[in-house]
Amino acid sequence: MAARYNHRETEPRQRARWDAAKLFEAGPPDPSRAKCYVLEMFPYPSGRIHIGHVRNYAMGDVIARRRRAAGDQVLHPMGWDAFGLPAENAARERGAHPGTWTRQNIDAMRAQLQQLGFAIDWSREFATCEPSYYRHQQKMFLDFLKAGLVYRKKSKVNWDPVENTVLANEQVVDGRGWRSGALVEQRYLEQWMFQITRYGEELIAALDDLTGWPEKVRIMQHNWIGRSEGLRFRFQFDSTTPSPIGGGLEVYTTRPDTLFGASFAGISVDHPIALALAEANPALAEFCESCRRAGTSEEAIETQEKRGFDTGLRVIHPFDASQTLPVWIANFVLMDYGTGAIFACPAHDQRDYEFATKYNLPIKPVILPEGADPSAVTLENGPYLGQGNVFNSDFLDGMTSEDAKSAAMDRMEALGAGERTVNFRLRDWGVSRQRYWGCPIPIIHCKTCGPVGVPEDQLPVTLPEDVTFDKPGNPLDHHPSWKHVDCPKCGAPAVRETDTLDTFVDSSWYWARFCGQPQDRPTDLAAVSHWLPVDHYIGGVEHAVLHLLYSRFFARAMKAVGHQPTSEPFSRLFTQGMVTHATYKSQAGHWLSPDEVEITGTTAVEIATGKPAVIGPIEKMSKSKRNTVDPEDIIDTYGADVARLFVLSDSPPERDVEWSESGVEGSWRFVQKIWAAFDALPEGVPGPMHVATGVSGAALELRRAGHKAIAAISLAIDSYRFNSAIAQFHELVGHIRRSESDDSADMLSARVEVLGVLARVLQPFTPHLAEEAWLRMGGEGFVATAPWPEADQSLLAEATIMLPVQVDGKKRGELHVAKGTSKEELESLALALPEATHFLAGRTVAKLIVVPDRIINIVTRAA
C-alpha cells in the first residue's frame, strides 16, 4: 500500500526550503532576461484572508510560477492597502489604536498567505500606513501641486449635524447618518482636488490600445469618463427680469439642433443664481433645501420625481429675440455637470418632457420622423427621441439633425454667444477626507501666506500616535498640539491641514513602489523603467472604474513630474469571478453557517435543534449571510495545495466558482492520486529530466500524452484557462496510473519522463506536492526553478491521419495511415484500395499525384 501524502508534514518543510534559498526574490533588474511583473490587487488588512483572496492570489501565482520556470525574470510582490475607515471603527468600538489593529491584522494575514505557498517576493512587502511609504506620497502630492495637478475647491460633503462630522458616502444610509440617524446635510468645504480631467481626452483615447483588458472594463471606463461634444452658450436675461448676479445664463447642450423647440431654461438648486435668489425668497430656499435632502447625486436624481420652482426670471431666445423663456429651478439638473444649467426641449427629451407635462410648459416638436406629416405630429404619448429632419425651426428647417447641429453652432459662434466644447462626465478627484487613519496632506495653512506646502526636508508629516476616538469628528483636529506649527514661509503661527488623503490615493501608485524602494525618492527610475508596465494585473471587477482609473491617472501624473515613464500601468488585466456558496436558514429565519447544518441529498437539518433547515440560493460568500468558509480550516484539513487546486478547478476563472465540501474532497482525492503515481515508481529509475527516446507502442502513446499535456497546459495558463489546465492533469494522471500495470522497460522509461514532466507543469498549481515529487524522483534543486518542459513537436502529431483518395478528381475512398508515411508507400496503398480500384476497371493509370499527409489523386485514361 502506497504511503499517503501528508500535507501537514510536507507543506511547511517545502516552504522552509524555498525561504532559505530566497527562491522568489526578483533581484535587481536583469536586462538579459525577459521580465514579467505579476500583480494581484493588494488586500485590505481586515483581519483574516477569505477564500476570494485565495482564488485571486492562486491565479497570479500560477502565472508567476509558470513564467519563472519559462526563464523570465519575475516580480511577484505583496503588500497591504492599510489605511481606511474600518481601522478607525475598530478603534471606536474596541478601543484599539487603528495602527495596532492594522499591524496585528497584517501579521495574521501574512502568516495565512505564507501558508498557501505563494511564490511571492516578501522582501518587497510594505504597508501603505507606514511613513516609509506615505512620505513619498506626500512628496508626490507636493510635486503634483507644483505641476498644477492639485488645487483647492469648495465641494460638497455629507455633513452629520448631530455628530458634527463629515460622512463618507457609504456612511449615509437612506439620507441619514449611519450612527446618529440624523438627516444628512450637504455642506461645502474646501477640499483638495486632483485634476484627473486634465487627462480626460487621453484616458478615453488610450482605452482603444488596452487590448489586454476585458472589453467590459474598457466600456465601463469609457462611460465613466463620458466624453460628449456639444455647445456652451449664453442666454441674455430679459431686461424686465434682471438676474441677481451679473452675466448671462450659460448652458451646455449636445442638441443645438433642437434649439427652436426650447420651452424653458433649467438651473440646478445649487446654481449661483438659485443661491442668490434663495437669500430673498424663503419659499424658493425651502424648495432647494428639500431637493438637496432628497439627494443631488446622479443616481438619486434618476429615480426621483421631477420637481421645479419657477424663478420668475426670463431669458431671451438666442436665435429669436422676440421669444423669451422662463427660468425654472429643476431638481434634475446637476450642478457639477456642464454649467449646471440647461435649455429644455420637452418634445425630444424624456426628463424635459416629464417636467413640462407636470408644470404645463410648452412642448413644441422640431424633429420630424422620416415620412411623417408635419401637421399631424402629436406628442401625447411622450417625447420623440428618434432620428429625423428638423422642422418648425427657421433657418434649420429641412436639415438632418447632424447638419442642424453644426449650423446652429456656427451661428452661435458667429453671434459670439457660444462656442463648441467637449464635455466630460468625469469630475476632478476630491481627495480630502476628514479622517485620522490616512496619509496626512502635507500642507500648512497660514493666515497671511495661505496654504503652504510642507518643505521637503520636513517630510514625512507623520500621524500622531496619541489620539483619542471618544469624540466624533477627526482626531487630528482634536489633538492638542499636532496641528499647531509655524508657517514655513513667514514663521507666524499656523495650522496643519488636518484632512488626510482618500485611501484610493494609496493604491494608485503602489505598483510603482514595488519595483524598487529607495528611501529618499518615491521610485527607482531604473527599476520602474525595467519592470513597468505590470504584465498581469489580477483582481475584482468591482475596481473596474475607480481604482483602475485613478491608477491610470497617477501613471500619467507621475510621468509628468518624472517619477516613472509609463502612461499605462497595467498592460493585461484579468478580472476574476467570486467564490460562492449555498446559504442556509433556520426555520426561525436566521442565517446558518455551513457547519451548523447537516446535509443529506437535497435536505438540510439544523444540527443544534434537529429541525429542518431551509437551503437558500447560492450566493457570494459574505459574513452577513454566514455562508463563508475559512481558508485556514481548509488548509488545516486538506492542505494548501488542495485549496489552491479547488479554487481554480471547475469554473473558468472569470466566472464564479461554487464552494462545496464534496468539491474540496474531490480535489483532495486527486492530490492523493497524483502522489500515488509518483510513489509507484520503483527505486533506481533515472531522474525527472529523463527523456524516453526510442520507445514504441503503449510507451510511445504515454509519451505522446505527456507532450500533448505540456502544450495544452502551457497554452491554458497563458490564456488564463486554469480550469482547462486542471482538466488536463486529470487526463494525464489517469493515463499514467493505467500504464502502471505494464512493467516493460520501455513503459517504465516513458513513465519516468512523463512524471518528470507532470511535476514541472503541476508546480504552479500544487507547488508543495510538486516539490515533494521532484525530490522523490531525485530531481536537483527545486522544481520551482526547473525549466518549464518543452513539448516535442514530433510527439504532438496525431498518430494516424486520414488521406482522401480521388480518382480523376472525385473522392472515392480514404486511407488511414501514420503521419509522415512516405510517397512510395502511399502510392502502393492507394492503388490497392478496393474503393479506388473499382473505378480503375477498364482504364489505365495515367498519373499518380501524391501530396504526403494531404491527398492522393489517381488520374486515368481509357485503356
Q: What residue has cell string 538579459?
A: 32
The item of Zn ion, ligand ANZ, none sharing an interface with residue 490, based on CB under 5 to 8 Å by kind, is: Zn ion
Smallest separation, CB 489 to Zn ion (Å): 4
Taking residue 817's Cβ as centre, other Cβ atoms within 10 Å add up to 17
CB closer to Zn ion out of 130 and 190:
190
Q: Which stretch binds ligand ANZ (CB under 6 A): 327-335, 556-564, 628-636, 785-793?
A: 327-335
CB closer to ligand ANZ out of 338 and 706:
338
Q: Measuring CA to CA, which residue among 208, 213, 220 is closest to residue 544? A: 220
Collapsing DSSP to helix, strand or coil, 501 comes out as: strand
Residues in 553-612 that interact with ligand ANZ by CB under 6 A? none
CA distances to 460, 561, 747 from 492, in Å: 21, 31, 88
Q: Which stretch binds ligand ANZ (CB under 6 A): 246-254, 458-466, 522-530, 725-733?
A: 246-254
Residues in 488-547 that interact with ligand ANZ by CB under 6 A? none
Taking residue 674's Cβ as centre, other Cβ atoms within 10 Å add up to 27
**The pairing of beta strand 843-851 with beta strand 172-173:** unpaired
The item of Zn ion, ligand ANZ, none sharing an interface with residue 252, based on CB under 5 to 8 Å by kind, is: ligand ANZ
Side chain identity, residue 760: R
CB closer to ligand ANZ out of 62 and 345:
345
Side chain identity, residue 723: N
- Are the C-beta atoms of residues 318 and 325 closer than 8 Å to each other? no
Residues in 180-239 that interact with ligand ANZ by CB under 6 A? 228
CB closer to ligand ANZ out of 342 and 629:
342
Residue 343 binds to ligand ANZ (criterion: CB under 6 A): yes
The item of ligand ANZ, Zn ion, none sharing an interface with residue 458, based on CB under 5 to 8 Å by kind, is: none
Q: What residue has cell string 522552509?
A: 16
Q: Which stretch binds ligand ANZ (CB under 6 A): 140-148, 339-347, 548-556, 831-839?
A: 339-347
Torsion angle, alpha carbons of 123, 124, 125, 130, to 10: 120
Q: What is the 3-state secondary structure (H, E, C) of 169-196?
A: HHHEECCEECCCCCECEEEEEEEEEECH
The item of Zn ion, ligand ANZ, none sharing an interface with residue 446, based on CB under 5 to 8 Å by kind, is: Zn ion
Smallest separation, CB 243 to ligand ANZ (Å): 18
User: How many Å separate Cα 280 from the centre of its chain?
Assistant: 49
CB closer to Zn ion out of 487 and 629:
487
- Are the C-beta atoms of residues 443 and 499 closer than 8 Å to each other? no
- Are the C-beta atoms of residues 119 and 23 closer than 8 Å to each other? yes
Residue 337 binds to ligand ANZ (criterion: CB under 6 A): yes
Q: Which stretch binds ligand ANZ (CB under 6 A): 76-84, 172-180, 338-346, 553-561?
A: 338-346
Smallest separation, CB 442 to Zn ion (Å): 15
The grid coordinates of residue 625 equal: 449571510
CB closer to Zn ion out of 446 and 758:
446
Q: Measuring CA to CA, which residue among 760, 781, 754, 713 is closest to residue 69? A: 760
CA distances to 24, 194, 620, 629 from 589, in Å: 49, 48, 19, 21
* Binding test (CB under 6 A) with ligand ANZ, winner from 80, 252, 510, 514: 252
CA distance 198 to 144: 12
CB closer to Zn ion out of 411 and 489:
489
No. of helices (H) and no. of strands (E), the chain = 27, 35
Burial classification of residue 9, based on how many CB atoms lie within 10 Å of its CB (0-12 exposed, 13-18 middle, 19 or more buried): exposed
CA distance 663 to 647: 10
Smallest separation, CB 596 to ligand ANZ (Å): 50
Sign of CA dihedral 194, 195, 196, 197: positive
Smallest separation, CB 274 to ligand ANZ (Å): 13
Mask of contacts with ligand ANZ, 691-710, x by CB under 6 A? --------------------
CB closer to ligand ANZ out of 333 and 579:
333
Strand partners, 530: none
* Binding test (CB under 6 A) with ligand ANZ, winner from 120, 325, 342, 541: 342
Collapsing DSSP to helix, strand or coil, 404 comes out as: helix
Mask of contacts with ligand ANZ, 38-67, x by CB under 6 A? ------------------------------
The item of ligand ANZ, Zn ion, none sharing an interface with residue 253, based on CB under 5 to 8 Å by kind, is: ligand ANZ
Smallest separation, CB 420 to ligand ANZ (Å): 13
* Binding test (CB under 6 A) with ligand ANZ, winner from 340, 453, 631, 767: 340
CB closer to ligand ANZ out of 243 and 258:
258
Spell out the residues 6+ positions from residue 20 whose beta carbon is closer than 8 angstroms to its own.
Answer: none
DSSP label at residue 386? S
Residue 319 binds to ligand ANZ (criterion: CB under 6 A): no
Smallest separation, CB 338 to ligand ANZ (Å): 3
Q: Report residue 230: phi and psi, to 5°.
A: -160, -155
Q: What is the 3-state secondary structure (H, E, C) of 795-848?
A: HHCCCEEEEEEEECCEEEEEEEEECCCCHHHHHHHHHHCHHHHHHHCCEEEEEE
* Binding test (CB under 6 A) with ligand ANZ, winner from 66, 234, 255, 626: 255
Sign of CA dihedral 133, 135, 138, 139: negative
CA distance 190 to 246: 24
CA distances to 50, 461, 483, 489 from 445, in Å: 43, 14, 10, 11
Smallest separation, CB 352 to ligand ANZ (Å): 7
CB closer to ligand ANZ out of 149 and 269:
269
DSSP label at residue 588? T
Q: What residue has cell string 406629416?
A: 373
Smallest separation, CB 434 to Zn ion (Å): 24
Burial classification of residue 630, based on how many CB atoms lie within 10 Å of its CB (0-12 exposed, 13-18 middle, 19 or more buried): middle
Smallest separation, CB 451 to Zn ion (Å): 10
Strand partners, 737: none
User: How many Å separate Cα 131 from the centre of its chain?
Assistant: 28
Collapsing DSSP to helix, strand or coil, 620 comes out as: strand
The item of Zn ion, ligand ANZ, none sharing an interface with residue 269, based on CB under 5 to 8 Å by kind, is: none
CB closer to ligand ANZ out of 177 and 338:
338
Taking residue 569's Cβ as centre, other Cβ atoms within 10 Å add up to 24
The item of ligand ANZ, Zn ion, none sharing an interface with residue 489, based on CB under 5 to 8 Å by kind, is: Zn ion
The item of Zn ion, ligand ANZ, none sharing an interface with residue 255, based on CB under 5 to 8 Å by kind, is: ligand ANZ
Q: Which stretch binds ligand ANZ (CB under 6 A): 335-343, 482-490, 597-605, 729-737?
A: 335-343
CA distance 702 to 709: 11
Q: Measuring CA to CA, which residue among 816, 754, 818 is closest to residue 789? A: 754
Mask of contacts with ligand ANZ, 400-429, x by CB under 6 A? -----------------------x------
Smallest separation, CB 479 to Zn ion (Å): 21
Smallest separation, CB 733 to ligand ANZ (Å): 56
Smallest separation, CB 488 to Zn ion (Å): 8
Mask of contacts with ligand ANZ, 823-852, x by CB under 6 A? ------------------------------
Site residues, Zn ion (CB under 5 A): 446, 448-449, 487, 489-490
Mask of contacts with ligand ANZ, 345-384, x by CB under 6 A? x--xx-----------------------------------
Smallest separation, CB 418 to ligand ANZ (Å): 12
Q: Which residues are near ligand ANZ by CB under 6 A?
A: 228, 252-255, 258, 332-334, 337-338, 340, 342-343, 345, 348-349, 423
